[in-house]
Amino acid sequence: MAADHLIKNAGDSPFHRGEREIQSRLGVREQMEHQGSRFIRDHLPEQHREFYRGLPFVLIGTVDEKGRPWASILFGRPGFADSPDARTLTLASRPVFGDPLNDNLVAGLRAGLLGIEYHSRRRNRLNARVAAFDDKVIQLDIDQAFGNCPRYIQTRDYELLPGIDLLGENKPVQRLGSLNSQARAIIEKADHFYIASYYSEDEGKVSHGADVSHRGGKPGFVRVDDDNRLTFPDFNGNLHYNTLGNISLNPRAGLLFMDFDSGDLLYLTCGAEIIWDAEERQAFTGAESLVRLTIDAGLIVEGAAPIRWSNGEQSPMLTETGSWQEVEEKIAARKQGNVYREYAVTRVEPESSNITSFYLQPQSGERVPCHKPGQFLPIEIEPVAGGGKLQRTYTISNAPNGREYRLSIKREPAPGPGLPAGVASNFFHDQVKVGSNFRAMSPRGKFTLDESTNRPVVMLSAGVGITPMLGMLEQLASDSDSCREPRAIWFLHGVRNGSEHAFASKVRDLEKTLSCLQTRFVYSQPGADDTLGIDYDQAGHIDVDLLRRELPFDDYDFYMCGPTPFMQSLYTGLKNLNVPDERIHYEFFGPGAAFQTSKPVALPEDKYAELSPVPVRFDRSGIETTWDPGKGSLLDLAESEGLQPDYSCRSGICQTCATRVVDGEVGYAEPPMVDPEPGMALLCCSHPLNKLNDDNSPLVLDL
């Protein structure tokens, strides 16, 4: 992290060029400019001064004479770190034997410092200059100080060893040019490490200097690629992007791993590369990027840490992250086509008179593949033995937790006299119980919560449309527990009456604990037992007039889910209020058509860059156009030409968008869950293929 000073004048920024570029890339630039000016200080606030005084160790990032970053550690009895005034921190300690800090420490050195308290998951960081030092005390003059996100920190308690009073005594040291078996073992079991980086531009300014930060994950999250290379996923944190910003301008990093059992310390200095678009990054749940490290030098100082730690609780944020094993499975599944896993029902809980929740866990006992709030689960059931299998999709109504999925399913009645009721939903309500088994694929769906912004959120749902909103609400509540600035949330839900109101108490409980959440329940036909002001807030329907009364003027992200007429009315009303399409997100329950011309999602360049443009003719409409990979799927192409084909899942599952191919051939970005009938194409996930030996022949669709 680097900045010249606190923001004091318009136009100043607390972030340097590399950080700003990554924030822009990930869509959080405006948000972080606002937050940074409030949170980054040029002094230690009183609570930070007290925090450092209670620590038994701190981390320091420095560079050596070759410009290589190193992450180092200083130990001491609590109180060894002291702040005599708000711009000074003194460390009554000396580096352990062999630590690169012994050679790097010079007056005037720019250093990054991290204080971390495992048991509370608190951490604070600062950037400073070494004002003076001797073999007993290091004095630092503060340039910047800021709190840091508690995400991905595992809790631990500690015990001081007698060696805390013998710092600097000789320890066995192994010099490394590559990883040996001991180093590999330390890395492969680690659930966190520390990373130092260095901003080498603007020498003479505060922005010039080193930084050190924490990285946490499930044990094994740092992958040993070979004796000279490591790769780790970089997860979403406080959105400063200090480490990545430094690496983007100076591709080097220093790592420190601690073996909590033996006290061994592993130091590495490496070349560093940020990987944004690789297939592995896309398959690693929760990873915004991967960082690949090529080892330049390292050392192991054996038994150097005069502290032993006990294992505590894993960070709850890790439930939202994947693993390298999952990455391998996902990539293999993409190559082999869709793969089912066996699931068992572990709980069944009624939520209302017509909605019941079914909790699923893998029969294998493994963690469930992580999902994004709002996604659905493709499942396969057999309602009647020997009667054939059915494929259905149901929204996952809980936020990711790594343990289970919750499917909240509405019993669908017969649509009219003499017509059959919903086969799948009634099968669940009538036959599925604890211990029932069926198969499911990995979660899918593009109707997901955008966590890259702090823009206020308005959630609008009706009936069973509450299910994706509930997962999003739980995720937003989890986000608010971290150091991220809470997002203002309005949740408006419409239902017939209290007997059909699912999750009412759950949402009310969230509102009590989440100060940024405001809810409105609207009943269209309140029952005799429904009390205005207690069970519901208003009679009638959710419409734009209600939004205009309830919402203060602001720039919102709108999320909608419910029956098509409900969403069509709201969409039309929002457009009349000049809300742009990119601020309106929605999902149909049942077949529907797009309300607007959707922005196409370009096909992955690494897989489809070699595809050339193909002429396409929509036969019944008389429209001729040209497709290329930048125009997305055939459904995207049709919508861009003003057509409105029916679709529902937009993921190759429901078959709603199946369209007859009059002439030509299609391919699929990912294999659909169910193959279409011969001669049919699923528009939502398909693209044209050039006919052999005739590049000018169009793909002709019966549309």
Q: Do domains 17-324 and 605-701 have the same CATH topology?
A: no
* Band of residue 642 on the pLDDT scale cut at 50, 70, 90: confident
Q: Which helix (H) or strand (E) holds 460?
A: strand 457-462
Tell me the fold of 337-440. Elongation Factor Tu (Ef-tu); domain 3 (2.40.30)
CA distances from 356 to 351, 472, 501, 571, 622 (A): 5, 19, 11, 29, 47
Alpha carbon separation from 326 to 340, 344, 523, 672 (Å, rounded): 14, 20, 43, 20
pLDDT in tens, 211-237: 999 999 999 999 999 999 999 999 987
**Does the pLDDT value for residue 598 go beyond 50?**
no
pTM of the model: 0.69
CATH code linked to domain 605-701: 3.10.20.30
Helix (H, G, I), strand (E, B) or coil at 101: helix
Q: Which residues of 397-407 are buried (b: 16+ CB within 10 A; e: fewer)?
A: bbbbbbebbbb
If pLDDT is split at 50, 70 and 90, which confidence band does 685 have? confident
- Tell me the Cα Rg of the chain: 28
Least confident of 12-16, 81-85, 605-609, 614-618: 605-609
Q: Which residue bears the tokens 């602001």?
A: 554
Tell me what the mean pLDDT of segment 484-490 comes to: 82
Considering 141-155, 242-256, 330-344, the range whose residues carry the highest mean pLDDT is 242-256
Looking at 3.40.50.720, 3.40.50.80, 3.20.80.10, 3.30.420.40, the CATH number of the domain 457-587 comes to: 3.40.50.80
Residue 343 has pLDDT above 70, yes or no: yes
633 pLDDT band, cuts 50/70/90, is confident
- 356-410 residue pLDDT tens: 999 999 987 777 887 889 999 989 898 888 878 888 889 999 998 888 999 999 9
Please report, in angstroms and rounded to a whole number, the separation of the first and last CA atoms in the chain: 54
Q: How far is CA 546 from CA 320, 477, 490, 559, 637, in A?
A: 35, 25, 12, 16, 35
Other CB atoms within a 10 A radius of the CB of residue 680 amount to 17
- Phi then psi for residue 581, to 5 deg, are -55, -35
Q: What CATH number is given for 17-324 in this structure?
A: 2.30.110.10
The per-residue pLDDT of the chain, averaged, comes to: 87
Q: What is the pLDDT of residue 442?
A: 82
Asked if 353 contacts 500 with a C-beta cutoff of 8 angstroms, the reply is yes
Look at 387-391, 593-597, 643-647 and tell me which has the smallest mean pLDDT.
Answer: 593-597
Write out the two tokens for 376: 């659905």
Domain boundaries, the chain: 17-324, 337-440, 457-587, 605-701
* Res 606 pLDDT > 50: no
Band of pLDDT at residue 443, cut at 50, 70 and 90? confident
Per-residue model confidence (pLDDT) at position 48: 95
164-202 tens-digit pLDDT: 999 989 999 999 999 999 999 999 999 999 999 998 776
Cα(342)–Cα(363) distance, integer angstroms: 6
Helix (H) or strand (E) holding 216: strand 209-216
Question: How would residue 506 be classed by pLDDT, with cut points 50, 70 and 90?
Answer: very high
